[in-house]
C-alpha cells in the first residue's frame, strides 16, 4: 500500500505501520527477519527473509521447507536452524496473533 499524496516521511511511516499489522515480525536474528502474513493460510508456518531472498517453512506437523526464492542450500539450512531455535516463540506468536 502506497500513500502517494503524503509527504515521503509520512508515507514511509504509514507503510511500516501497515506492514507490521499485516506481516508482523516474530523475531530478528542477525540479517534474518521472521514474520507471517495475517491473511494467509491457517496452517502454522513462518516466512524468513534475508537480503538474498526469502523462504517459507511449515511448523506443523514437522518443520519443513515449503518454498523459497533466491537462497542457497547453505542459507536455507541456516534459516532452518534459526527457526528450530525459535520454534516455540513462533508458535506462541502465531496463536496470539490469530486468536
What is the mean pLDDT for each group of 10 consecutive residues in the chain (99 residues)? Answer: 42 42 86 87 91 95 95 96 96 88
E strands present in the chain: 25-29, 32-35, 45-50, 53-58, 64-69
Residue 69 lies in a domain: yes
- Residue 82 pLDDT: 97
- Residue 37 pLDDT: 83
Number of domains the chain contains: 1
- Residue 42 pLDDT: 82
- Residue 97 pLDDT: 85
- Residue 83 pLDDT: 96
Residue 8 lies in a domain: no
Residue 12 lies in a domain: no
Residue 7 lies in a domain: no
Residue pair 57/83 in contact by the 8 Å Cβ criterion = yes
Residue 11 lies in a domain: no
| Enclosing domain of residue 71 | 24-98
Amino acid at each position: 500500500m502506497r500513500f502517494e499524496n503524503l509527504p515521503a516521511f509520512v508515507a514511509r511511516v504509514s507503510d511500516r505501520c501497515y506492514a507490521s499489522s499485516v506481516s508482523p515480525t516474530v523475531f530478528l536474528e542477525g540479517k534474518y527477519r521472521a514474520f507471517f502474513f495475517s491473511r494467509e493460510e491457517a496452517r502454522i508456518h513462518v516466512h524468513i527473509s534475508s537480503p538474498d531472498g526469502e523462504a517459507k517453512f511449515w511448523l506443523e506437523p514437522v518443520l519443513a521447507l515449503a518454498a523459497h526464492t533466491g537462497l542457497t542450500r547453505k542459507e536455507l539450512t541456516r534459516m532452518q536452524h534459526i527457526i528450530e531455535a525459535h520454534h516455540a516463540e513462533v508458535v506462541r506468536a502465531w496463536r496470539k496473533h490469530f486468536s
